[in-house]
Amino acid sequence: MNRNRNKLVAFAGLVIAVVVLVVAMVGGGSLTAPTTAPPSGVPTAGQSTTPASGTATSAASAVANPSTLPTINASQLPKEARQTLALIAKGGPYPYDRDGVNFGNFEGLLPKKSGGFYKEYTVPTPGESDRGARRIIVGKDSAKYYTPDHYESFTFIVEGK
């Protein structure tokens, strides 16, 4: 009898662990703290490169940050990212056939939206023989995000700055 109870307790513990893991994955949460520093040039969560509240902003930066992600001024992005932003503004043509495809936000780092809300665009990386890791993600709300590390981290792009 005691043996069956021990098996039942072990099984219940396993079920609870699986449920916690699934909730963390679906909810976009993390079970552990990040162990690596953000890539060079990308502000950490406590930093912001936007002007203090109450200062003037240009019409191009009219999109407010809909996330809790750190921000980066478009002028602070690598040259290739600024070129990709210009292509996006023009509507192309894009150098990669995967540019403009749906971005699923499976990592859950961007604001949660329905499927098809986000599109991704390649930011070429000098010296890479393929698309590299850098991308710009654009939401239907015109919010733009930069990831230098293939969706490991994101910053909200403040345009016009």
Q: Which residues are known to be catalytic?
A: 120, 150
Q: Residue 153 has which token pair?
A: 């981290």
> What is the spatial distance between Cα 130 and Cα 143, in angstroms, rounded to a whole number?
26
Q: Residue 60 has which token pair?
A: 């191009």
Q: Find out whether 134 and 99 touch, Cβ atoms under 8 Å.
A: no
> What is the spatial distance between Cα 66 and Cα 111, in angstroms, rounded to a whole number?
7
